Amino acid sequence: MVHGESRSEWRLGAQQAVKIDPFVSEFDMGLARPLSRSVRLNGFATCLRLEQVYWEILNEMATLNGCSVSALLSHVDREVHLRHGGVKNFTGLVRVVCVVHSLK
């Protein structure tokens, strides 16, 4: 809330019209459904919970690289350890990798 605004002014301002509706007519809510999948990261079995849309992006990335999703994720895991000493939230990193891929 901006200094000097009342709570009612803030609520009204937050409901401005959106110019580009993110819920297009063909929007599939199933893409937001989280799914847990078992993957092997550099030989270690683990479970990764991501929304369906991220699994689809990972499948596309793996296909483009001619490898499995597990091999792709193993590469991400290995590189983040080599380049940055690891990451606290691997699932968050995977989401960001997917978004960056989609933006290109």
User: pLDDT of 17-54, one tens digit each?
Assistant: 778 877 777 888 888 899 999 999 989 999 999 999 99
Q: Where is average pLDDT lowest: 10-19, 40-49, 63-72, 92-101?
A: 10-19
In the chain, what percentage of residues exceed pLDDT 90? 67
pTM of the predicted model as reported, rounded to 2 decimal places:
0.78
**What is the pLDDT at residue 1?**
47
Name every residue whose Cβ is closer than 8 Å to that of residue 33 and which is 6 or more positions away in sequence.
51, 52
Q: What is the DSSP string of 42-77?
A: TTEEEEEEEEHHHHHHHHHHHHHHTS-HHHHHHHHH
Q: Collapsing DSSP states into helix, strand and coil, what is residue 10?
A: helix
**Domains identified in the chain and CATH numbers:** 21-103 (1.10.3990.20)
Amino acid at 39: V
What pLDDT, on a 0 to 100 scale, did the predictor assign at position 13?
53
